[in-house]
A and B are shown apart, each in its own frame.
Chain A
């Protein structure tokens, strides 16, 4: 089965940039989505199809996908961005989703 790996944790100072990676074999050929989950809450979609942002999500959130790594970038990090972030990979050839292991973002 397809395996997707994320770093367990990322720490960032307020106002700086956080980069969260999602690594998988030839992930560029797949569709990558990103979800933010705050404690005790359901996840919220923040980036879809690698780079698109749903309405209501700040422009500070952006995504990219190249080679074997997809990346979620949070610019000008705020305290309210502290959460777990999961990549969700859709493999159209297999017709299945795979979730990354999740990354806890801590704002220092």
Chain B
């Protein structure tokens, strides 16, 4: 049974760099059927996709966050990570951050992804 567990600091200061890790159990991060992604949700608000990564390092990023985001995979520990440069506005990046598994397939029209499993989420508060 797949389990996704986020870990990282709960409190950050503006303009710092946030680093979060997702530990995957019950599946191999090198499984060719899946990408691995991050989605966030500010308190009381909707969902925002951050990005998705394949075990080879191939990535898809949200264009609105692309300049501040780096994702990576560590196949030796079955983990993937998010690095986000925080803005100077505290509320902008305060959110629950979820890691997800993205099932994917490819055909002549392109790649297709769906977030089919979610971690429980971790709250990151940005405050000076």
Contact = CB atoms under 8 A, between A and B. Distances in A.
Interface residues of A, number: 24
A108 to B, nearest CB: 23
Interface string B81-118: 00000000000000000100000000001111111111
A74 B113 CA distance: 24
Nearest to B61: A96
Given A42-B120, A101-B46, A88 B115 contact: yes
Interface residues of B, number: 24
A86 B60 CA distance: 21
A13 interface: no
B33 interface: no
5 contacts: A31-B112, A35-B47, A45-B116, A96-B60, A99-B48
